Amino acid sequence: MYNSKSRNATEFISHEEILDTLEYARKNKSNKTLINDILNKASEYKGLNHREAAVLLECDLEEENQKIKDLAYEIKQKIYGNRIVMFAPLYLSNYCVNGCVYCPYHYKNKHITRKKLTQEDIAREVIALQDMGHKRLAIETGEDPVNCPIEYVLESINTIYSIKHKNGAIRRVNVNIAATTVENYHKLKEAGIGTYILFQETYHKENYEKLHPTGPKHDYAYHTEAMDRAMEGGIDDVGLGVLFGLSPYRYDLVGLLMHAEHLEAAMGVGPHTISVPRIRPADDIDPSNFSNAVPDDEFEKIVSIIRIAVPYTGMIVSTRESKKMRERLLKLGVTQISGASRTSVGGYCEPESEDENSAQFEVNDNRTLDEVINWLLELGYIPSFCTACYREGRTGDRFMRLVKAGQIANCCQPNALLTLQEYLEDYASQDTKVKGEFVISNELQHIPNEKVRQVTIKNLAEIKNGMRDFRF
């Protein structure tokens, strides 16, 4: 039985409720009155439930589908403005004991090179990332309690935070590791992590178990209930995501939104981020073997509906997507993107040689960080390296209260400009610097609070004079 407050995975992600929802959506796909009522509700920026969102997903009315896109853009601008948060993944290890059929890390794969970074390796990788301008990392590992125990992850986090090179510093480490215990989540909290990220891959239990035939990840309930345990362990911010293409996307989108509803109902705060990866080619993995691939136009609609249904969440798109697709998605709700990513174990300090292959998937956007920043500036966005909310304790429900009250611009807008100025001074090419200065000058006029604007102007000048790390 469906119960959003239940701590049982098969109750807060109810198969029967998803099927009923999809049937309801199909029956109402041309119900113009209902669809416009849902859009009117969404225009209040308070979100939609999974059933309402499913109706919009099925909508086959051209005018209303355009309204969906327009509203997604409006909500994104209202809550997050032009800010796009930058990050990079850092793969620490690809040893894995799971048998996931869509991932080259699966334990039977003998073609992939198995690697694990030493702490010295990590230090070199972090310096390379700092020298690009990165301030925020997402660390990734396979699941292997022998080769990659929690103690190794904790030591690695400490190493990352300890490295200060020139003006560089990693100010926030997000963690994407396998589902674990409340005790281990508490340890991660104590280590100072930002967001704990765990992709569900698919919410369809039967498909999930087929896709994960062996290993600890086979346990659907343990995996799906991980966010509850993470929050019990004291982690304020959690990040959801499915790997679109493994199961029918309609099913997974409804499941994803139900999970967000569950976290709000049972834990008091919804997901800090939602990621939207699509399956990509990789060693031993051919996406054509998966029959649920999501076309670009439908993918756009998925992103739009997530933004409308969960307006407060950050939305992440990685270098799995092309430059062209990322540009399309930025207009529809995406607020975070990776730049200059390596999906190999390491690879930032020195590119991986051709005879090695430790990558989890092929990257579709191979531009340098400066090229990505330059591109964002040309499009009128503010590339942001801000980590202020995390370091000021504005996490979890405290962050969400700011977002839902529409007050986030009073701190996020100026903080984004300050961190962009740091990037321009320390790392940018001359062309990027010129474009960045223009954007900063223009965006200063959009800071609503005059006092905040004047402090921002003062701090921008201090950054040009060599000072760093101002924040509201």
Same domain, 183 and 312: yes
Task: Report the chain (472 residues): mean pLDDT per 10 consecutive residues.
Answer: 96 98 98 98 97 98 98 94 96 95 86 93 98 97 96 98 96 97 98 97 97 97 98 97 95 98 97 91 60 88 98 93 94 95 91 68 85 97 91 81 72 94 98 98 92 95 94 86
Secondary structure (3-state) at 203: coil
Q: Are residues 265 and 318 in the same domain?
A: yes
How many angstroms separate the CA atoms of 370 and 383, rounded? 11
Specify the pLDDT at position 293: 83
The residue out of 50, 76, 102 marking a domain boundary is: 76
Domain co-membership, 119 together with 244: yes
In a domain, 373, yes or no: no
Residue 374 counted as domain residue: no
Q: Same structural domain for residues 102 and 210?
A: yes
Verify that 171 and 205 share a domain, yes or no: yes
Is residue 152 a part of any domain in this protein?
yes
DSSP 318: -
Token code pair at residue 329: 């998605």
Closest C-alpha to 40, from 50, 31, 48: 48
**212/291 same-domain check:** yes
Q: How far is CA 24 from the centre of its chain?
A: 30
Instruction: Round to whole Å and give the CA distance between 382 and 343.
Output: 25
Does the residue 388 lie in any domain?
no
Q: Of the candidates 253, 273, 264, which has an alpha carbon nearest to the alpha carbon of residue 313? A: 273
Domain-embedded: residue 472: no
Nearest-angstrom CA–CA distance, 315 and 83: 12
Domain hosting residue 408, numbered range: 397-464
Residues 403 and 455: their CA atoms lie apart, in Å, by: 22
Half-sphere exposure of 381 (CA within 13 A, CB side): 25
Contact at 8 Å (CB) between 58 and 28? Answer: yes
Q: In terms of DSSP H, where are the helices of 175-234?
A: 182-190, 205-211, 220-224, 226-232
Side-chain half-sphere CA neighbours of 278 within 13 A: 22
Contact criterion met (CB below 8 Å) for 383 and 340: no
Partners of 90 in the β-ladder: 139
What are the C-alpha distances in Å from 220 to residues 140, 143, 179?
20, 15, 11
Predicted local distance difference test score (pLDDT) of residue 285: 53
The CATH number given to whatever domain includes residue 273 is 3.20.20.70
Q: Hey, what amino acid is at 79? A: I
Cβ(59)–Cβ(304) below 8 Å:
no
Residues 302, 346, single domain; the answer is yes
CB 285 within 8 A of CB 73: no
| 317 strand-pairing partners | 337
Q: Is the dihedral of CA 226, 193, 151, 352 positive or negative?
A: positive
Q: Is the same domain home to 225 and 287?
A: yes
Of 76, 110, 128, the domain-final residue = 76
Task: Calculate ∠ Cα 439-442-447, nearest 5°.
Answer: 115
- Is the CB of residue 222 less than 8 Å from the CB of residue 179? yes
Helix (H) or strand (E) holding 298: helix 296-309
Q: What is the distance of C-alpha 80 from the center of its chain? A: 15
Q: Is residue 256 part of a domain?
A: yes
| 212: number of Cβ within 10 Å | 23
One domain for residues 134 and 16: no
Site of tokens 């004079």: 465
Q: Is the pTM of this model over 0.85?
A: yes
256 & 123 share domain: yes
Token pair for 401: 């209260």
Last residue of a domain, one of 51, 76, 101: 76
Pair (206, 244) in one structural domain: yes
Distance of CA 124 to the CA centre of its chain: 25
Crossing angle between the packed helical segments 296-309 and 249-262, to the nearest 10 degrees:
20
**Helical (H) or strand (E) element with 20:** helix 15-27
Number of domains, the chain: 3
CB 382 within 8 A of CB 443: yes
Report the first-to-last Cα separation within the chain, whole angstroms: 45
Beta strands in 19-108, from DSSP E residues, in sequence order: 83-93
Residues 118 and 187 both lie in one domain: yes
Q: Return the structure tokens found at 217.
A: 């990840």
